[in-house]
């Protein structure tokens, strides 16, 4: 009996064993293939980074080598600097160095990118490179040489010692100090040197670009938790004695804020969540956490309700300029209108439930940071008819209106906004009302309003 059982089980177990070995071998091969592919991508990104940093150094030198009055060569050189810097930033993002202190180098590359871009797009005939900008380019030329040299040293170690980026990733993940971390040490050295470089005077335009909007710029005095509680109850409008929880965020920083959660047992205990700035107690965002039912109303019906909601809640003169729907929810972009001009910097996103068309949330951070009660709007020098001549003859116009937008230098400019189609796609084209130049072109993947 046992012999017969063995005769049956032995070949079966043998087949299972062979199958397990084959499966394990295939799994190991697939894993190795994935690791090899990842390693090759890391190696390519690193060697491309070293190459582009060397090219960046050379391009800065070329820009400085030409005559100081050679505007066209300055523009060409700065465009190339911007392109190479962007390439280097992209390659850094592909490397497994997120856990390394490489932020100083990334910040420097970001500033070089912004500086070269904003300088190349301006009219250098009217506003040539200043003496300070030439000094900055000389400093950047010297600094980029050092960074390139340090990266080449790391590159030589990688090639000579056949170092693997997968080992770097493992070392950072496990914080293993015993591994040969020549790559990690090399990047730390580069970043330390960059951190020791003196800060450059990038000029007022770069200061504007780098200056993040902060709560400290807002008007009004700091509010207390009790102030926020009263504001939240008033905005929620949930009847008498709702339950309110107030949480303070970012205490001691310029980004300090309050989160209020309002619920009412008589209304199903569905919480309404609101965020307020600590300075001035302005509402940043609002979310109604109710469950949204099946779609029952149209987007046009919803925008009418959203208009009334914003007006009732203290946001008058808001106009929907974009809309799209996803499932049973609709999203609208609103901007404030003043003197028949759309103020695009003062925008907010509004979400509605398409089961009843009521607002279930909005995000108003752009609005509160950019809002001005009596914004000065320049007068248009060109008429609509004159500006329309600047459009592509094939552009099929659907509407036009005045709009205040920000250009690449973050300056506010008055434009005629032309909405229409060309080449089978929807576009918005903004024509400067002062000189007829095209300030911005946007392809609209959502519905234009």
- Render pLDDT for 108-144 as a digit per residue (tens, 0 to 9): 888 888 888 888 877 888 888 888 888 888 998 898 8
For residue 76, CA distances in Å to 24, 81, 205, 409 come to: 56, 9, 20, 19
Model pTM score: 0.66
Which of the two residues, 177 and 167, has the higher pLDDT score?
Answer: 167
Residues 6+ apart with CB under 8 A from 385: none
Dist. CA 432–CA 376, nearest whole Å? 16
Lowest mean pLDDT segment, chosen from 70-84, 211-225, 271-285, 311-325: 211-225
Over residues 246-259, mean pLDDT: 80
The C-alpha angle 71, 75, 76, rounded to 5 degrees, equals 115
What's the chain's average pLDDT?
Answer: 82
Q: What is the pLDDT of residues 23-77, one digit of tens each?
A: 555 555 555 565 677 777 878 888 888 888 899 989 999 888 888 888 888 888 8
So what's the pLDDT on residue 419?
95
Instruction: Give 80-90 pLDDT, tens digit per residue.
Output: 888 888 888 88
The CA–CA distances, whole Å, from 107 to 112, 191, 210, 353 equal 9, 10, 11, 41
Better-predicted residue by pLDDT, 30 or 294: 294
> Do residues 286 and 362 make contact, with C-beta atoms less than 8 angstroms apart?
yes
CATH class of 384-448: alpha beta
Q: Give the domain ranges of the chain.
A: 17-210, 225-370, 384-448
pLDDT at site 246: 93
101: pLDDT confidence band, cut at 50, 70 and 90?
low
pLDDT of residue 19: 60
Buried (b) or exposed (e) across 97-116, using 16+ Cβ within 10 A? Answer: beebebebbbebbebbbbbb
Confidence of residue 179 (pLDDT cuts 50, 70, 90): very low
Q: Among 17-26, 147-156, 170-179, 192-201, whose mean pLDDT is lowest?
A: 170-179
pLDDT digits (tens, 9 = 90+) for 318-364: 999 999 988 899 999 999 999 999 999 999 999 999 999 999 999 99
Better-scored residue on pLDDT, 268 or 382: 382
CA distances from 252 to 129, 212, 249, 293, 380 (A): 41, 18, 9, 41, 45
Work out the pLDDT band at 215, boundaries 50, 70, 90: very low
- Please report, rounded to a whole number, the percentage of residues in the chain having pLDDT higher than 90: 36
Q: How confident is the model at residue 415 (pLDDT cuts 50, 70, 90)?
A: very high
What is the rounded average pLDDT of the residues 421-445? 91
Q: Is the pLDDT confidence value at 303 over 50? A: yes
In our burial notation (b when 16+ CB lie closer than 10 A, e otherwise), range 219-239 reads eeeebeeebbbebbbebbebe
b/e for 16-30, b at 16 or more Cβ within 10 A? Answer: eeeeeeeeeeeeeee
């Amino acid at each position: 009996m046992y012999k017969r059982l063995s005769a049956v089980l032995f070949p079966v177990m043998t087949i299972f064993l062979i199958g397990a070995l084959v499966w394990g071998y295939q799994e190991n091969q697939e894993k190795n293939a994935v690791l090899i592919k990842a390693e090759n991508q890391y190696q390519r990104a690193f060697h491309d980074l070293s190459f582009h940093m060397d090219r960046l150094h050379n391009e800065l030198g070329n820009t400085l080598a030409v005559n100081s009055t050679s505007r066209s060569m300055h523009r060409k050189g700065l465009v190339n600097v911007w392109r190479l810097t962007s390439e280097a930033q992209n390659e850094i993002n592909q490397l497994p160095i997120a856990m390394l202190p490489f932020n100083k180098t990334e910040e420097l590359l970001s500033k070089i990118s912004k500086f070269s871009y904003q300088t190349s797009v301006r009219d250098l005939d009217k506003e040539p490179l200043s003496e300070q900008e030439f000094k900055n380019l000389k400093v950047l030329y010297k600094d980029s040489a050092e960074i390139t040299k340090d990266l080449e040293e790391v590159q030589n170690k990688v090639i000579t010692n056949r170092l693997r980026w997968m080992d770097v990733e493992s070392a950072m993940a496990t914080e293993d100090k015993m591994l040969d971390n020549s790559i990690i040490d090399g990047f730390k050295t580069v970043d330390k040197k960059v951190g020791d470089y003196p800060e450059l005077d990038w000029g007022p335009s770069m200061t504007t670009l780098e200056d993040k909007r902060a709560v400290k710029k807002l008007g009004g005095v700091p509010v207390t938790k009790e102030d926020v509680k009263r504001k939240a109850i008033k905005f929620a409008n949930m009847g008498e004695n709702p339950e309110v929880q107030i949480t303070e965020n970012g205490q001691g920083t310029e980004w300090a804020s309050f989160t209020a959660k309002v619920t009412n047992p008589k209304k199903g205990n569905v919480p309404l969540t609101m965020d307020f700035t600590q300075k001035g107690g302005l509402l940043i965002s609002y979310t109604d956490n109710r469950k949204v039912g099946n779609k029952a109303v149209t987007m046009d019906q919803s925008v009418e309700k959203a208009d009334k909601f914003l007006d009732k809640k203290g946001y008058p003169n808001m106009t929907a300029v974009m809309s799209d729907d996803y499932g049973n929810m609709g999203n609208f972009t609103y901007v404030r209108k003043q003197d028949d001009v759309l103020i695009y910097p003062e925008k907010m996103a509004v979400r509605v439930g398409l089961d009843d068309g009521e607002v279930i949330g909005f995000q108003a951070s752009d609005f509160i940071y950019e809002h001005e009660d009596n914004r000065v709007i320049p007068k248009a020098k060109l008429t609509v008819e004159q500006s329309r001549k600047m459009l592509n003859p094939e552009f099929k116009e659907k509407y036009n209106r005045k709009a205040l937008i920000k250009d690449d230098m973050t300056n506010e400019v008055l434009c005629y906004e032309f909405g229409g189609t060309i080449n089978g796609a929807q576009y918005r084209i903004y024509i400067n009302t002062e000189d007829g130049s095209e300030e911005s072109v946007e392809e609209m993947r959502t519905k234009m309003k």
